[in-house]
Amino acid sequence: MPLTQINPPPHMLREILSQPECWSECIRQLENDAILREISTNVPADSEWLFVGCGTSYYLALSAAASFSAISGMPARAVPASEVLLFPDAVLPKRRPIVPVLISRSGRTTEVVKARNYLEDERGIRAIAITCAADQALAQASSFPIVLSAAEELSTVMTRSFSSMLLGLQYLAATLMDDMGVMQSLKHLPKAAESLFRETPPRLRDFVGRHDFDDYVFLGHGPFYGIACEAALKVMESSCSYAQSFHSLEFRHGPKSIVSAKTLVGFFLSDSGYAAEVDLLEEIKSLGAITFVVTPRVDNRVRAGADLLVEVPMPGPECLRLAGCIPWGQLLGLYTGLKKGLNPDSPRNLSQVVILNEIP
């Protein structure tokens, strides 16, 4: 089916394109959410924050932890929920209080729910939960539930729930620090992103229609590494294509051997590493790759090195533009899957929630 003839639109497409509206609704809710104030008064100042998720929610945790440290100055890291269950002594700090943040769109993901049970019931550690479902186990049993019901989805693959929960955790960090500047930047984000959502989808759709790739690679540093991981996962989930993600400069250390004219390499450029990452972009372009670049900073070198360029003119600290970077990997996966004749609302071998019968 031609990519211009998608009728009716898949749930996934509608949910990707609904993100600015969804962000606005979630931020309105967060402005009046008493749970955020309760967290602020119950969290020890010397705590270490541990962001916990599975799959897409783990990649969300990576970007949330990096954002949280940037906004609050507090130590934060991310782990898969299975690490909490299987290797708790390696994961949980022994010399300082811990604040676990459990992430699950559905509130039913087995490993995340069991991690809550272990932390709260066995270890006596009060947990924050962020989810889109108020009536499920995670929200109902956790000490501090943040529920963003506006971000709930019909699609199997997570899209707007990822970006909305990430914004929610960034807003929480700003609330803890009483940082009105960050809160205002997040509040203005949906309006700032509107033009991107009008102009970029047709360009991305046409780009996918013109190219066929054997390999997909996505690169990012700092808070953008989680976004690179998520872009690779979306391409795999939605199009059954092989995709990988790396910290950007690590790509030189062996993985660049796969580069050819049939390789798409996506770059999520940071402010902190901009010069080094642009050098890498030029190097990979010289090896023959097709390049996809997402950045707010565009100079002549970037324009020359990018086959597809998405400008994200987001103000404020670089971590606050993460939500504006996420949708384009999502759309790339969606359009690639449609080109291959796949149904993005029913991806192969996947279900909306991972429920396991047995896990320690």
How do residues 86-140 score in pLDDT, each as one tens digit?
999 999 988 889 999 999 999 888 999 999 999 999 999 999 999 999 989 899 9
124-128, 171-175, 344-348 — which is least confidently predicted? 344-348
pTM metric for this prediction: 0.93
Strands 48-53 and 76-80: parallel
Quickly state the pLDDT bin for 232 (edges 50, 70, 90).
very high
pLDDT at 156: 82
Exposed (0-12), middle (13-18) or buried (19+): which is 76, by Cβ within 10 Å? buried
Residue-range domain boundaries for the chain: 11-185, 191-339
- The pLDDT value recorded for residue 6 is 57
pLDDT at 349: 60
pLDDT at 296 over 70: yes
| CATH assignment of 11-185, among 3.40.50.150, 3.40.50.300, 3.40.50.620, 3.40.50.10490 | 3.40.50.10490
**Interacting residues of 337 by C-beta distance below 8 A, sequence separation 6+:** 238, 239, 240, 343, 344, 347
- pLDDT over 70 for what percent of the chain? 93
Which residue reads 């590493």 in tokens? 273
* 85: pLDDT strictly greater than 90: yes
Q: In what order do the strands lie in the sheet with 308-311?
A: 243-247, 215-220, 263-268, 290-295, 308-311
For the structural domain made of 191-339, what CATH number should be given?
3.40.50.10490
C-alpha atoms less than 13 angstroms from C-alpha of 85 in its C-beta half-sphere: 18
CB neighbourhood size of 321 (10 A): 27
Length of the chain: 360
User: Taking Cα atoms as reference points, which of 4, 15, 2 lies closest to residue 344?
Assistant: 15
- Residue 222's region, left for phi above 0, alpha for psi from -120 to 50, else beta, is left
Asked which of 2-16, 126-140, 146-160, 336-350 is least confident by mean pLDDT, the reply is 2-16
Query: pLDDT tens, 186-209?
Result: 999 999 999 999 999 999 999 999
User: What pLDDT was estimated at residue 119?
Assistant: 95
Q: Are strands 128-131 and 98-103 parallel, antiparallel or unpaired?
A: parallel
Q: Is the pLDDT of residue 173 over 60?
A: yes
**Confidence at residue 118, expressed as pLDDT on a 0 to 100 scale:** 95
Q: What is the pLDDT at residue 1? A: 44
- State residue 268's pLDDT score: 97
50-76 mean pLDDT: 96
Confidence bin at 242 (pLDDT 50/70/90):
very high
Cα–Cα separations (whole angstroms), residue 24 to 171, 183, 198 = 12, 12, 17
Over range 264-283, report the average pLDDT. Answer: 96
pLDDT at 353 over 60: no
Query: Are the folds of 11-185 and 191-339 the same?
Result: yes
Tokens of 303: 């324009």
Mean pLDDT, the chain, integer: 91
